[in-house]
A and B are shown apart, each in its own frame.
Chain A
Amino acid sequence: MLEVKQLVVAYGRVNAVKGISFNVEQGQIVTLLGTNGAGKSTTLRTISGLLTPVSGEMWFEGERLDGVAAHKVVEKGIAQSPEGRRLFRQMSVEDNLRLGAFSRKDAAGVRTDMDRIFDLFPVLGSRRTERAGLFSGGEQQMLAIGRAMMSRPRLLMLDEPSMGLSPIMMQLIMSTIRSLRDEGITILLVEQNAAAALKLSDKAYVLEVGQITLEGTGEQLLGDDRVKRAYLGED
């Protein structure tokens, strides 16, 4: 579905992503794992068209993706819930969701989808006219995921959805991600919380200072000694 080949992305003269290649297959949860500064968010921002790659290729459903403007990437069926949620904090829950559906023209479908988000996250539905900034971290994360869902993406990219959340909230978010996959949405997940992410991943890649150093199924990486030492905090 998504193919990234030899992708290089730079900030000024510094390469943040140094020639990575990976695939996301239809219907899978694929995780990019790594520490701060490994290049995970940079990769997602490049796929979304916010950054322009220095070299390399990106293909989505057989079409070239690099060079496509950010707002066109959304129209192609790729949505992103960015790192730190980046909600429009002064706006209501409903306004945030409506902005998520900005590229769509079917008003009736947008309303149906909004109701679906409220079924999925009842706390958002019961406070739909309140400002997004007033919600707890976990609730804001729900809204950020819901907002990304509003464009009806076929590929949903989630950047650190568990960041700063309580363990209970984190489990809820993780099980939501799994149920979105079960509905047929392909998911590209970026996480620092390796254990939780690997448990639900079909495929995972470990990113270290801009390069992929390890790849495998979620289970394989959970059992890998290097992953255990570096990301799972085991000896």
Chain B
Amino acid sequence: MEYFLQQLINGLSLGALYALIAVGYTVVYGIVQLINFAHGEIFMIGAFGAYATWMILGQPTDWSTTMSLLVLLPAMLIGGMVASVTVALMTERFAYRPLRNAPRLAPLITAIGVSVFLQEFVRLFYGWVPGFPDAKSAIPFPSVPGLSGESLQFGEVLIQMPAVFTLAALAVCSVFLWYFVNRTKTGRAMVATSQDPDTARLMGINVDRVIMAAFALGAALAAIAGVAHGLRYGNIDFRMGFLAGLKAFTAAVLGGIGNIAGAVVGGLVLGVAEAMATSFIPGQFGSSAWKDVWAFALLILVLVFRPEGLLGAKVVDRA
């Protein structure tokens, strides 16, 4: 039982990471029907932005726990968000917007191009900044006293502090997303635009700004995930967005693409499924080498038996 609970917690915290990234796929898809394959790189850039912030703060290693949690961590989160939101808005403006009315294959291919471009950009140029480490291989992520290496113990169940951070971040973001979508003018405009863009424009909604808001929102959450990833695995590298992005995209499809609550549920389900597969499937098929196989097998199963996803995809409904 403790073993099961332990795996459940591991799965949920991994899933929370996927969920934070998946929201970005789903909000952008919901509005412009674009699968933004560069979103994994936005997550990666969030992590590198947080690292850069730590460098700018003078690589603090001896800060007290209070200072770290109240100053260092928020500063790294904000730095990561500034980096990821800026890059996401630039890709929207310069790569996707010119193709707004092109056939859907064009922006999709562009997204793959943007993805490669951003990876290579970080790989080749991160080390050019004086004092910054070369990014051609993995960089150790700064440890945040109070989080890194700490854990909470509940009976036999052990929860790493980075996992607690990830779950707490998802909880806060979910409340924020609910409030944003249901209670703010921009949020309502976003929902209206995803249901019927032309009619949204007739209401006086500036659809370009709504699209920018969607990219920025997804990027901000991805940056939080980037920091969570760094704390969890202890290092970051320019390729980290590829698999994480693919998993998060799977999570978004699993929950029903275009559906924000679906992205959160899909992420958690995928994380738990991965954790359970590696703990309860016997023999070599349960080894961690097989966890990606099980994750994508789950995707295929859902696509075959419930193509609209667990919570239902955004339905185009205009009668």
Q: How far is the CA of A50 from the CA of B201 in the complex (A)?
A: 8
Q: Is the CB of B202 within 8 A of A95?
A: no
- Assuming A98-B188, A99-B188, is B203 touching A82 (CB within 8 A)? no
User: A74's contact among B189, B202, B207, B317, by CB below 8 Å, is which?
Assistant: B202
Q: Is the CB of A103 within 8 A of B202?
A: no
Q: How far is the CA of A100 from the CA of B319 in the complex (A)?
A: 18
Q: Which of A61-86 contact B (CB under 8 A)?
A: 69-71, 74-75, 79-80, 82, 84, 86
Q: Is the CB of B318 within 8 A of A74?
A: no
Shortest C-beta distance, A111 to chain B (Å), equals 15
Interface size on A, residues (CB 8 A): 27
A88 interface residue, CB < 8 Å from B?
yes
Q: Is the CB of A89 within 8 A of B205?
A: no
Chain B residues in 8 Å Cβ range of A95 = 188
Q: Is the CB of A71 within 8 A of B206?
A: yes
User: A70's contact among B185, B191, B201, B317, by CB below 8 Å, is which?
Assistant: B201
Q: Is the CB of A103 within 8 A of B192?
A: no
Q: Mark A83-123, 1 if CB is under 8 A from B, else 0.
A: 01010111100010011101100000000000000000000
A69 nearest in chain B by CB position: B206
Q: Is the CB of A102 within 8 A of B195?
A: no
Q: Is the CB of A151 within 8 A of B199?
A: no
Q: Is the CB of B198 within 8 A of A50?
A: yes
Given contact pairs A79-B202, A99-B188, a sample of 18 additional A-B residue pairs in the complex whose CB atoms are under 8 Å apart: A48-B201, A48-B202, A71-B204, A71-B207, A74-B202, A80-B202, A82-B199, A86-B198, A90-B195, A91-B192, A91-B195, A98-B188, A99-B189, A99-B192, A99-B203, A99-B205, A103-B204, A147-B203
User: A90's contact among B198, B205, B317, by CB below 8 Å, is which?
Assistant: B317
- Assuming A88-B195, A102-B189, is B202 touching A82 (CB within 8 A)? yes
Shortest C-beta distance, B302 to chain A (Å), equals 23
Q: How far is the CA of A82 from the CA of B196 in the complex (A)?
A: 12
Q: How far is the CA of A91 from the CA of B192 in the complex (A)?
A: 9
A218 interface residue, CB < 8 Å from B?
no
Q: How far is the CA of A70 from the CA of B201 in the complex (A)?
A: 6
Q: Mark A132-158, 1 if CB is under 8 A from B, else 0.
A: 010000000000000110010000000
Chain B residues in 8 Å Cβ range of A82 = 198-199, 202
Q: For the side of the interface on B, what is the size category?
A: 20 to 34
Chain A residues in 8 Å Cβ range of B189 = 99, 102
- Assuming A86-B318, A88-B195, A88-B196, is B202 touching A70 (CB within 8 A)? yes
A49 interface residue, CB < 8 Å from B?
yes
Shortest C-beta distance, B170 to chain A (Å), equals 25
Q: Is the CB of B201 within 8 A of A49?
A: yes
Q: How far is the CA of A28 from the CA of B142 in the complex (A)?
A: 70
Chain B residues in 8 Å Cβ range of A70 = 201-202, 207
Q: How far is the CA of A102 from the CA of B192 in the complex (A)?
A: 11
Q: How far is the CA of A208 from the CA of B172 in the complex (A)?
A: 58
- Assuming A88-B196, A90-B195, is B318 touching A102 (CB within 8 A)? no
Q: Which 6 A-B pairs have the closest CB atoms?
A: A103-B204, A74-B204, A70-B201, A86-B199, A102-B204, A71-B206
Q: How far is the CA of A99 from the CA of B202 in the complex (A)?
A: 10
Chain B residues in 8 Å Cβ range of A71 = 201, 204-207
A49 nearest in chain B by CB position: B201
What is B's interface to A at a CB cutoff of 8 Å?
185, 188-189, 191-192, 195-196, 198-207, 317-319
- Assuming A98-B188, A99-B192, A102-B189, is B202 touching A84 (CB within 8 A)? no
Chain A residues in 8 Å Cβ range of B195 = 88-91
Q: Is the CB of A75 within 8 A of B204?
A: yes
Task: Find the residue from A79, A102, A133, A151 having the highest chain B CB count within 10 A.
Answer: A102
Q: How far is the CA of A40 from the CA of B147 in the complex (A)?
A: 64
Shortest C-beta distance, A149 to chain B (Å), equals 12
Shortest C-beta distance, A197 to chain B (Å), equals 21
Q: How far is the CA of A84 from the CA of B196 in the complex (A)?
A: 12
10 residue pairs bridging A and B, Cβ less than 8 Å apart = A50-B198, A70-B207, A74-B202, A74-B204, A82-B199, A82-B202, A89-B319, A95-B188, A99-B188, A102-B204
Q: How far is the CA of A133 from the CA of B195 in the complex (A)?
A: 13
Chain B residues in 8 Å Cβ range of A103 = 203-204
Q: How far is the CA of A74 from the CA of B319 in the complex (A)?
A: 23
Q: How far is the CA of A99 from the CA of B201 in the complex (A)?
A: 10
User: B319's contact among A48, A84, A98, by CB below 8 Å, is which?
Assistant: A84
- Assuming A84-B319, A90-B195, A95-B188, is B201 touching A102 (CB within 8 A)? no
Chain A residues in 8 Å Cβ range of B206 = 69, 71
A70 nearest in chain B by CB position: B201
Chain A residues in 8 Å Cβ range of B318 = 84, 86
Chain B residues in 8 Å Cβ range of A89 = 195, 317, 319
Q: Is the CB of B191 within 8 A of A74?
A: no
